Chains A and B, each alone.
Chain A
Amino acid sequence: MTLTPSLKEAMLAAVPSLRAFAISLSGNIDRADDLVQETLLRAIANIDSFQPGTNMSAWMFTILRNLFRSEYRKRRREVEDTDGSYAESLKSHPEQGSRLEFQEFRAALAKLPPDQREALILVGASGFSYEEAANICGCAVGTIKSRVNRARTRLADLLAIESSEDFGPDQSTRAIMAAGGRG
C-alpha cells in the first residue's frame, strides 16, 4: 500500500476530529496538535499496515489513542490539568448555552478517569459505534458500554452537584435543572 493522493486526502479529512479527540484526551491544545502531528507521521510511515477499504479515521484514532496512552504513562507523575484551565483556550459555541455552563461541563469532563472520558468522547461525540470504539481502545464492546454509562452517570452527578452548590435547590429542583430546565 503506497501513500496515494486519495489516502492523503482521507488523512487530512480526519484531522479536525482527531484534534477534537486529542484535546478531549490531553486537555491542552498544544499537546493535542503535537499528538495529531505525531499521528500523521506515524500513519504515513505505517501506511503499509492500513487495510484498504477500512475506515481511515478509525485507524488514525487508534494511532493517536495509543500515542497518548504511552505518553500518558511517561508523564504520569506530572500534574494533570484537571482543573479545566485548558478550557480557557477553547472557544464557546452558540449551542453550548451559557459560558458558565460550558466551563462547568468541561471541568466535569476533565475529572473523569481517562478510560471513561475516551469512551464517552468516541461514542458520544466522535460518532463511532460501540464496536468501533472497542476496536480503537483495544477492549471488549461490553467494557466500552460500561465505561460510557459510568462516564454519563458521573458527569450527571458532577454537574448536578455543582448546580446545587450554586443555588442550593432541593432534590426535585435539582432534578429539573439536571434535565436542562433552563430551556
Chain B
Amino acid sequence: MNEDDKPGRPGHMQTEVTQRKPRGRLGRDVQNKIGQQLRAMYDGVVNDGVPDRFAEMLRKLDDQGKDDKEKGSAA
C-alpha cells in the first residue's frame, strides 16, 4: 500500500477498528476502470446516433427557410 498505511506507534497495532481507505488518492487502475465504465455508458447513447425527431426538426426548418425565400423572390 502506501505511506499513509504504515503501522503506527507500537502498542497501537492490532486494533479492532477497520482501516479506512486513504482519501483523495486513487490508483491508476481504479481511475482507468471508472473512465472505462463512464465512456461505455456514454458511448452507448452516442452510438444511437441522431434520433429522427431532431433530424426532422432541422429539415422542417430548412423547408420553411426555402419557402420564405421563394415567397420573397416571387413578390
Contact = CB atoms under 8 A, between A and B. Distances in A.
Interface of A: 3, 5, 8, 11-12, 15-17, 19-20, 23-24, 33, 36-37, 40, 44, 90-93, 95-97, 101-102, 105-106, 109, 120-121, 124-126, 149, 152-153, 155-157, 159-160, 171, 175, 178-180
Contact of A125 (B30, B42, B55): B42
Contacts of A157: 21
Nearest to A155: B34
Contacts, number: 115
B45 A16 contact: yes
A159 to B, nearest CB: 8
16 contacts: A16-B45, A16-B46, A16-B49, A24-B42, A37-B57, A92-B44, A93-B41, A93-B44, A96-B37, A102-B37, A125-B39, A152-B26, A152-B34, A156-B34, A171-B19, A180-B32
A16 B37 contact: no
B48 A179 contact: no
A8 B38 contact: no
